[in-house]
């Protein structure tokens, strides 16, 4: 058990460092003006046009770091600091989210797998914590309760793992297009790469954290005797 606690503590520290790095990077590169002068919205719209996607809308959403692509209504939702900004960070984020739209249009397999898991993950997120806590409290009398919670949590872990290639591929598409279209200059291209790398680290940390948590609960279940 001590090893499990140390692992969980290490994961918490890793998650905190990754989030700090993302916030620091976002703040730093949000201050560097894009040489092309395009806003996040303009970057997304131009990337859509050049790839022949005319049925995807670019919208503004509230909050910070809330940028996402919605495959259900085909909308690229950019946070206000990205939507209206003409910074390197805004261009990188906007191109990344547009990369998801391109994945959707071409039927990118990992994205389809992740989308298929969304309803299950949404269901499990509402009950998994209750099952895990109740399962630990009633471990000796009703061990299958914890097992049910572990199975549901394993699905969310699988979701985190599948998310990794989806996000990495979207960033790859974004960087290739930014360079080819000359939206980012030669000097700014490495900065856009660093910005997207900082965002990617959060998904790796989430996957590692989910795997570690799953192992933690498995350790409890397997050591019940």
Domain assignment of residue 215, yes or no: yes
Token couple for 4: 């499990």
The pLDDT value recorded for residue 2 is 63
Domain assignment of residue 73, yes or no: no
Per the structure, the complete domain to which residue 215 belongs is given by 2-33+88-222
Contact 59, 78 (CB under 8 A): yes
Domain assignment of residue 21, yes or no: yes
Number of domains in the chain: 1
The pLDDT value recorded for residue 64 is 86
For residue range 27-51, list pLDDT tens digits in order.
999 999 999 999 999 999 999 999 9
pLDDT at 225 over 70: no
Domain assignment of residue 166, yes or no: yes
The pLDDT value recorded for residue 3 is 67
Top-confidence residue, 224 or 36 = 36
Domain assignment of residue 130, yes or no: yes
pLDDT band at 186 (very low <50, low <70, confident <90, very high): very high
pLDDT band at 194 (very low <50, low <70, confident <90, very high): very high
- pTM exceeds 0.85, yes or no: yes
Domain assignment of residue 131, yes or no: yes
Domain assignment of residue 191, yes or no: yes
For residue range 93-121, list pLDDT tens digits in order.
999 999 999 999 999 999 999 999 999 99
DSSP characters over the chain: -HHHHHHHHHHHHHHHHHHHHHHHHHHHHTTSB-TT---HHHHHHHHHHHTT--S-EEEEESSSS--EEETTTTEEEEEHHHHS--BHHHHHHHHHHHHHHHHHHHT-HHHHHHHHHHHHHHHHHHHHHHHHHHHHHTTTT-HHHHHHHHHHHHHHHHHHHHHHHHHHHHHHHHHHHHHHHTSS-TTTHHHHHHHHHHHHHHHHHHHHHHHHHHHHHHHHHHT--
Domain assignment of residue 80, yes or no: no
Nearest one of 66, 115, 94 to 173, comparing CA atoms: 94
For residue range 129-168, list pLDDT tens digits in order.
999 999 999 998 898 999 999 999 999 999 999 999 999 9
**What amino acid positions are annotated as catalytic residues?**
97
The alpha carbons of the chain give a radius of gyration, in whole angstroms, of 20
């Amino acid at each position: 058990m001590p090893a499990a606690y140390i692992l969980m503590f290490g994961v918490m520290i890793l998650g905190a460092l990754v989030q700090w790095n993302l916030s620091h990077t976002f703040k730093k590169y949000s201050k560097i003006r894009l040489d092309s002068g395009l806003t996040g919205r303009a970057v997304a719209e131009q990337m859509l046009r050049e790839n022949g996607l005319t049925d995807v809308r670019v919208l503004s959403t509230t909050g910070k770091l809330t940028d996402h692509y919605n495959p259900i209504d085909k909308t690229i939702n950019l946070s206000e600091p990205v939507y209206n900004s003409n910074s390197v960070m805004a261009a990188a984020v906007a191109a990344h989210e547009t990369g998801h739209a391109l994945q959707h249009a071409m039927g990118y397999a990992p994205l389809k797998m992740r989308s298929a898991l969304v309803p299950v993950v949404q269901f499990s997120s509402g009950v998994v914590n209750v099952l895990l806590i109740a399962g630990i409290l009633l471990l000796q009398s009703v061990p299958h309760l914890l097992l049910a919670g572990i199975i549901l949590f394993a699905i969310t872990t699988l979701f985190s793992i599948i998310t990794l290639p989806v996000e990495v591929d979207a960033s790859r598409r974004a960087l290739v297009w930014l360079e080819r279209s000359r939206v980012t200059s030669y000097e700014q291209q490495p900065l856009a790469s660093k910005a997207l790398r900082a965002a990617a680290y959060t998904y790796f940390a989430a996957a590692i954290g989910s795997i570690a948590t799953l192992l933690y609960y498995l350790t409890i279940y397997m050591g019940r005797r």
